[in-house]
């Protein structure tokens, strides 16, 4: 298996190099040269198998000879032993045709744990084999940073810095980043929004000498390994509901589009998905693009679903590339224009290719509140604002109503207690992991949204003792 850049000017590389690089040297995102295809028999054979076994089988198709099947099986078993539910990603039926896919049973109560617990072990394993050290920088809109800190804290040959937008995430989200006592971890509050954090991160990779100097890598959903690990729960949910002989749809709350793109990848691998409903909050760049064909950057607005407060959805570049038939030249030109002018017009053929699988809607704050309130009234379940956005999106998606609809529940309600209380009149019970961090002191560094300040900070950190 080889990985190529969506922009075509970086040489194809293997899985471990794509894992360590994160972003391609030409500014593009890595994608598999071809997606592995599973037969109906292979998909059906996942039914009833432990999540870790399914994960190992799917990941084996992407890693090539970088790891043996036995090594990968151990990594997946260790990663998912950290979850508090035996199914890892259990399905809960909420009415005749809708199901919640609970993706928040990991150590930091968010779906990011599902990929991050695997990635940390892949990094550690690969770095030891290659006798290398890396500095990972992670830009987060809320949950990625906590999941990355939890997964990478204390690991050998790795330092990790989590950048988050100051004042724009929940206290619980912040504490999952800022309460680690491990020396290889730093949490940095950036004076700006998530798009500023993500732009800083991408800007670092434009300086090849700096990348080499500090051994820079990233674990945002820009990293293809994150997407690959997230493909797994689409398959486990699918077979639990009768795939491959039964089709199904998914509703996905999205910001950076990585989770929704993982569903697209599962479809390309053979999972019979009827429709993927992309639900955004008022930061609706993806919804507008999939509805109108115009991908136009706006100004990020702070909401009660902060992980979706994004106006540059990085993984949309991967979908553009796929829908353009793998035309790297067209993709590179489009995203150069976007960087310069903040807009891409998809064109009728590319838009039609995306709309064959995706529909999209934006959900405002009042609708999100009603989504949380309705879930409590109808099911006695407290859901977080991101899940509420997906529930509202699923209800709006009349074109997907003929098959079972799986709604991705991406975070535990306890990560957003104030928003849940305001909508439902009830505080979600705090799990032990939240209570433990509430009693710990925080370590936070502060930076302006300036590349020079971040580079100086990273140089100092990488020069410090491990």
pLDDT one-digit tens code per residue, 254-312: 988 999 999 999 999 999 999 999 999 999 999 999 999 999 998 889 899 988 988 88
Kindly report the average pLDDT of the chain as a whole number: 94
pLDDT value of residue 198: 87
Whether residue 206 lies in the annotated active site = no
* Torsion of the alpha carbons at 421, 424, 429 and 430, rounded to the nearest 10: -40
Exposure of 80 by Cβ count < 10 A (0-12 exposed, 13-18 middle, 19+ buried)? Answer: buried
Q: What is the pLDDT of residues 99-130, one digit of tens each?
A: 999 999 999 999 999 999 999 999 999 999 88
Please state the separation of Cα 39 from the chain's center in Å. Answer: 26
pLDDT band at residue 399, thresholds of 50, 70 and 90? Answer: low
Say how many C-beta atoms besides its own lie within 10 A of residue 9's C-beta.
Answer: 13
Relative orientation angle of helices 385-396 and 365-379, to the nearest 10 degrees: 90
Q: E-assigned strands of 16-76?
A: 30-32
| DSSP-derived secondary structure letter, 353 | H
pLDDT tens, position by position, 195-226:
899 899 989 988 999 999 999 998 888 899 99
Question: Starting at the edge strand that comes first in sequence, how are the strands of the sheet with 216-217 ordered?
Answer: 216-217, 134-139, 158-165, 185-191, 445-448
Rounded distance, CA 464 to CA 466, Å? 6
Whether the full predicted model's pTM is greater than 0.85, yes or no, is: yes
**In angstroms, rounded to a whole number, what is the distance separating the alpha carbons of residues 194 and 192?**
7
Give per-residue burial for 112-147: e unless 16+ CB within 10 Å, then b: bbbbbbbbbbbbbbbbeeeeeebbbbbbbbbbbbbb
3-class secondary structure, 347: coil
Question: DSSP H helical segments within 409-450, as ranges?
Answer: 417-424, 432-438
Tokens of 109: 């109560």
Contacts of residue 183, Cβ cutoff 8 Å, sequence gap at least 6: 465, 466
- In this predicted structure, what is the pLDDT of residue 409? 98
Catalytic residue among 112, 159, 396, 415: 112
């Amino acid at each position: 298996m080889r990985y190529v850049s969506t922009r075509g000017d970086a040489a194809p590389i293997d899985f471990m190099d794509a894992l360590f690089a994160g972003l391609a040297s030409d500014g593009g995102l890595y994608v598999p040269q071809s997606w592995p295809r599973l037969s109906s028999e292979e998909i059906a054979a996942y039914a009833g198998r432990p999540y870790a076994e399914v994960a190992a089988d799917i990941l084996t198709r992407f890693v090539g000879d970088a790891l043996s099947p036995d090594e990968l099986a151990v990594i997946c078993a260790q990663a998912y032993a950290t979850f508090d539910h035996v199914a890892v990603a259990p399905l809960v039926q909420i009415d005749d045709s809708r199901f919640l896919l609970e993706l928040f049973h990991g150590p930091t109560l968010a779906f990011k744990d599902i990929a991050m617990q695997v990635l940390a072990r892949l990094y550690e394993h690969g770095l030891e084999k290659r006798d290398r050290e890396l500095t990972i920088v992670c830009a987060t809109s809320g949950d990625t940073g906590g999941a990355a800190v939890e997964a990478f804290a204390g690991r050998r040959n790795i330092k990790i810095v989590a950048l988050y937008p100051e004042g724009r995430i929940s206290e619980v989200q912040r504490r999952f980043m800022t309460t680690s006592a491990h020396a290889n971890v730093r949490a940095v509050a950036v004076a700006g929004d998530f798009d500023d954090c993500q732009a800083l991160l991408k800007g670092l990779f434009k300086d090849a000498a700096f990348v080499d100097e500090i051994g820079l890598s990233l674990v945002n959903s820009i990293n293809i390994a994150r997407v690959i690990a997230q493909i797994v729960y689409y398959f486990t949910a699918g077979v639990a509901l009768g795939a491959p002989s039964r089709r199904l749809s998914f509703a996905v709350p999205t910001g950076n589009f990585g989770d929704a793109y993982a569903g697209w990848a599962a479809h390309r691998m053979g999972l019979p998905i009827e429709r993927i409903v992309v639900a955004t909050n008022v930061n609706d760049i993806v919804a507008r693009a999939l509805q109108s064909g115009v991908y136009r950057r706006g100004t990020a607005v702070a909401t009660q679903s902060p992980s979706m407060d994004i106006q540059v959805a990085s993984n949309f570049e991967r979908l553009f590339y796929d829908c353009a038939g793998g035309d790297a030249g067209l993709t590179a030109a489009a995203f150069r224009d976007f960087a310069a002018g903040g807009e891409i017009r998809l064109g009728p053929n590319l838009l039609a290719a995306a709309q064959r699988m995706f529909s999209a809607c934006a959900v405002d704050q009042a609708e999100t509140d009603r989504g949380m309130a309705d879930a409590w009234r109808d099911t006695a379940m407290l859901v977080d604002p991101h899940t509420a956005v997906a529930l509202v999106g699923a209800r709006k998606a009349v074109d997907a109503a003929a098959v079972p609809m799986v709604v991705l529940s991406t975070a535990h309600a306890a990560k957003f207690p104030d928003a849940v209380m305001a909508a439902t009149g009830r505080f979600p019970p705090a799990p032990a992991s939240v209570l433990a961090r509430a009693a710990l002191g925080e370590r936070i560094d502060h930076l302006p949204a300036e590349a020079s300040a971040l580079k100086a900070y990273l140089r100092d950190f990488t020069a410090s003792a491990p």
